[in-house]
Structure 1
Amino acid sequence: MQDNRPPLLYLTHRIPYPPNKGDKVRSFNILRQLARTHRVWLGSFVDHPDDRRHIATLRQWCEQTCVIPIEPAIRRVASLRGLLRGEALSLPYYRSPRLARWVDRVVAEHGIHAAVAFSGPMAQYLDVPGLARRVVDFCDLDSAKWSQYAADRRWPLSWLYRREGVRLLDFERQAAARADASLFVTEAEAELFRRAAPELGSRVGVMQNGVDADFFSPAHGGDSPYPPGGPVLVFSGAMDYWPNIDAVSWFASELLPVIRRALPSVRFWIVGMNPSPAVQVLAGEGVVVTGTVPDVRPYIAHADLVVAPLRIARGIQNKVLEAMAMARPVVLSAAPAVGLGAEDGRECSIAADGEALCARVLALLADPAQAAAMGAAARACVLRGYSWAAHLRMLDWLLDGRTSLATAADVPPLHAAGAGPAPAIVRMP
């Protein structure tokens, strides 16, 4: 039977399977969406030994893959060449002559005219003859993230990170100028980029994150992994990622002691792969560091509260959506709440600072009925407005060759009735 789906190039900075950390959750769901309407050629990198065994799994969604193993420590050294070239260090980190040759070849051989690059640095592979349609999913404005990192570091890292922010923004603007559409995960991130590149505003849009509410469901919570004891607060995420490291370090060292003075039996569980030494050292009185677990859902489902005390956060956090989908009450700081369409006090609890975060945790622990009601409202919020299919169908219209979307009425509905507000539509010039 003839396959009439058009060919497509999809480039990701990290193998999009398994979807076990924030960026891979998004890139994997994008891959599944693209594969429904296109024959996909995937170019990617794999930076963790455990992920290499999953390369073959990608064949069920892809016509062909080129997944290149990289060693992060070696790549970090190699990326310093960017200092000599006056470019962002993120670019040589993800630069591969082998991948570039593969892209050139498959675009020419298979008549590929459309491409999606996931994360800014992968846009360096899109300047290829034959591509007529280019979409860059920046997700977050990474240049702003590096600038934010610089504020919390001493010299020379403060200088290096500040330089990375400036140089990477230069590249992001160049990449967006060559693309037909540039997407961000929240309106706040999109607006930040529009202010930095006002000339590109008409080609900048929002494609929100979603959550698989069937997988992350209270019906699939399994048995409790927690030993008997007091109430459990849980944080889940990749624990070699600096914003997560900063979040749990701050919470365990400064906030948890305040909470435990009022309620000594409280326990804090840090659940996630690759805990850094800074995370491992937190284990002790009242704090458990699990490392990799086979399934995060039981840890979420049986926690009394999920906490997201992130001080450095860009975009909508998958960890927050997953906890909400599992009907757990979530207490989060202001940073990860930006762009989250949930009502404070009813569908989640948003704290402006550390003192407020402690107070909100204690208030919910003291009122299990309110906590349960917040969890139920949180799941209803997810079901109403955070379907992956609803948000990602935008890609179909961006890739089908239309150069103008004059009015919203010209576009078929992006989601079912009652599924919450539709994602913003990119207006093509």
Structure 2
Amino acid sequence: MNICILTPRFPYPQFGGDALRINEIARYLKHQGHKLILVSLSDGAKPPVAQAKVLYDKVYFVKRNRIVSLFVGAFNFLFGKPIQCGYYSSNAYRKLFRKVIQTEKPDLYIPHLLRMVPYLSELHLEKQTIVEMTDALSKTYLLSSKAEGVGLLKYVYMLEQRLIARYELQVTRRFPKVVLVSQADIDYLKAKEPNATSLTLHSNGVGILEALPEHYNTDKICFMGNMRSMQNQDAAIYFANEVFPLIKKERPSAKFYIVGSLPPGNIQTLASDDIIITGFVDDLEGFIKDSCLLVAPIRVAAGIQNKVLVGMGCGVPVVMTSLISHAIPELRDGDNCLIRDGEQALADACLRIMRAPELRRDMGRKGYDMVLRHYSWAEKLNGYERL
């Protein structure tokens, strides 16, 4: 089949989990013998097209006009439509997409995230479309009131919650297949739309090291994620301000690394001799594999947090909040991870691993084995293209 993938951002460089997931979906589809056509918006005038062409057979893009994006986003809000659908609305993209339909004649369309769905609805292409929703955003936005240090963005999400919740239900009714990464998110949407038959589970997979590292840095604590995300900003600020000082009292040599692309000012201000802001790293697994542990103190989230699987795929123990643990049913507190809530409980869990090399080794191995058995991309995406 000719499969057309529509993305709101150019998927290279692969800065965050959203780009990682859509590229892994594309890689799976390519392995099945399908021809892939990428049609993307781009924040820059010269995205790395050559890099994308290694995976995608045809690559088309247009630069997004940010001023127009803000105007149309506000316009959507005034008329009761999701702000993000307006923010990623582009007449130049519409024109390009129509041209691609005429020249490439796709058999199947995959819009990446809800914000790209209107382009399909406008042309009545629902029956040929698999919506890559990934997460139930309305669920995430409900939790946004807990976020710290993210300013205006939090309030935009709060306004967006009602609009996106209504749109999610419309999409589940109108499209034949809507893909999410978490059964918890499917259950959340089905509670609102019990007769929904379109909701389909294709969880995240993860790359796995061929062998576990023999040595690690006993003082290195890592957090990883796309730092444009409000959820990741909140988690990093929370850990740095509330949890890490408790660890430092007991272990003065501890270092906290915040690893992720495009860290904004509220993250940059956390930097110190003991809190290192790395920005984007070329080899993520290579950077985190010698960590003593990885933390995922997420308080605002939906779906599977890929950072948990990446850490485990490197043999690094993960300390996480209970909120995100439910999306991965194979997690076992005290066995292949530690699940804790609250500042002191999270700090104690980190210190427990840092003080016990045997616990760190055994927990890292069990997490690695769990990911190896259950979270290969090929297994999780099997049958993705079938309507």
Question: TM-score surpassing 0.5?
Answer: yes
In 2, Cα distance between the equivalents of 1:364 and 1:170? 44
> Is the partner of 1:68 in helix, strand or coil?
strand
Q: Which runs of 5+ in 1 are unaligned?
A: 1-5, 399-429
In 2, Cα distance between the equivalents of 1:193 and 1:96? 29
In 2, Cα distance between the equivalents of 1:157 and 1:301? 32
Residue 318 (structure 1) aligned to one of 289, 306, 309: 306
In 2, Cα distance between the equivalents of 1:372 and 1:192? 36
Q: Per-residue deviation at 1:69?
A: 2.2
> Is the partner of 1:396 in helix, strand or coil?
coil
Residue 170 of structure 1 pairs with residue 159 of structure 2 = no
Could you give the per-residue CA deviations for residues 268-308 of structure 1, whole angstroms, max 9, x where no partner exists? 11122211111111112521212223322233111111111
Partner of 2:75: 81
Residue 264 of structure 1 pairs with residue 258 of structure 2 = no
Residue 352 of structure 1 pairs with residue 341 of structure 2 = yes
Partner of 2:108: 114
Q: Per-residue deviation at 1:92?
A: 1.0
- Aligned pairs for 1:1-400 within 5 A: 6-36=1-31, 37-47=33-43, 52-70=46-64, 75-127=69-121, 128=123, 132-150=127-145, 152=147, 160-200=156-196, 202-213=197-208, 216-218=209-211, 231-340=219-328, 341-398=330-387
CA contact (8 A) 2:4 2:36 kept: yes
CA contact (8 A) 1:234 1:299 kept: no
In 2, Cα distance between the equivalents of 1:388 and 1:157? 32
Identity of counterpart residues, as a percentage?
A: 27
> Is the partner of 2:298 in helix, strand or coil?
coil
In 1, Cα distance between the equivalents of 2:215 and 2:224? 18
> Is the partner of 1:82 in helix, strand or coil?
helix
User: Aligned partner of 2:175: which letter?
Assistant: A
CA RMSD across the alignment: 2.6
**Residues 223, 261 of structure 1: alpha-carbon distance in 2 compared, 3 angstrom cutoff:** closer
User: Aligned partner of 2:48: which letter?
Assistant: H
Could you give the per-residue CA deviations for residues 211-238 of structure 1, whole angstroms, max 9, x where no partner exists? 121xx4556x7998x8xxx611111222
> Is the partner of 2:386 in helix, strand or coil?
helix
CA contact (8 A) 2:206 2:371 kept: yes
Which is further off, 111-120 or 379-388? 111-120
Q: Normalising by structure 2, what TM-score?
A: 0.91
In 1, Cα distance between the equivalents of 2:49 and 2:288? 28
User: Aligned partner of 1:300: which letter?
Assistant: I
Could you give the per-residue CA deviations for residues 314-342 of structure 1, whole angstroms, max 9, x where no partner exists? 21112111110111111111122121122
In 2, Cα distance between the equivalents of 1:186 and 1:155? 28
In 2, Cα distance between the equivalents of 1:291 and 1:173? 36
User: Aligned partner of 2:353: which letter?
Assistant: L
**Residues 72, 236 of structure 1: alpha-carbon distance in 2 compared, 3 angstrom cutoff:** farther
In 1, Cα distance between the equivalents of 2:65 and 2:288? 32
Could you give the per-residue CA deviations for residues 179-234 of structure 1, whole angstroms, max 9, x where no partner exists? 1111111000111111122232x221211000121xx4556x7998x8xxx61111
Which is further off, 10-19 or 306-315? 10-19
CA contact (8 A) 1:217 1:327 kept: no
Which is further off, 101-110 or 34-43? 101-110
In 2, Cα distance between the equivalents of 1:318 and 1:156? 26
Q: Which runs of 5+ in 2 are unaligned?
A: none
> Is the partner of 2:222 in helix, strand or coil?
strand
Could you give the per-residue CA deviations for residues 342-381 of structure 1, whole angstroms, max 9, x where no partner exists? 2221111111322211111111111111111111111111
User: Aligned partner of 1:89: which letter?
Assistant: I
Q: Per-residue deviation at 1:175?
A: 2.1
Partner of 1:422: none
CA contact (8 A) 1:147 1:164 kept: no
> Is the partner of 1:10 in helix, strand or coil?
strand
CA contact (8 A) 1:45 1:69 kept: yes
CA contact (8 A) 1:331 1:349 kept: yes
Which is further off, 64-73 or 355-364? 64-73
CA contact (8 A) 2:12 2:47 kept: no
> Is the partner of 1:183 in helix, strand or coil?
strand
Q: Normalising by structure 1, what TM-score?
A: 0.82
CA contact (8 A) 1:260 1:266 kept: yes
Partner of 1:415: none
Which is further off, 57-66 or 20-29? 57-66
> Is the partner of 2:82 in helix, strand or coil?
coil
In 2, Cα distance between the equivalents of 1:183 and 1:146? 19
Q: Per-residue deviation at 1:80?
A: 1.2
Could you give the per-residue CA deviations for residues 72-94 of structure 1, whole angstroms, max 9, x where no partner exists? 57633541121332211111111
> Is the partner of 1:19 in helix, strand or coil?
coil
In 1, Cα distance between the equivalents of 2:313 and 2:118? 36
In 1, Cα distance between the equivalents of 2:309 and 2:293? 14
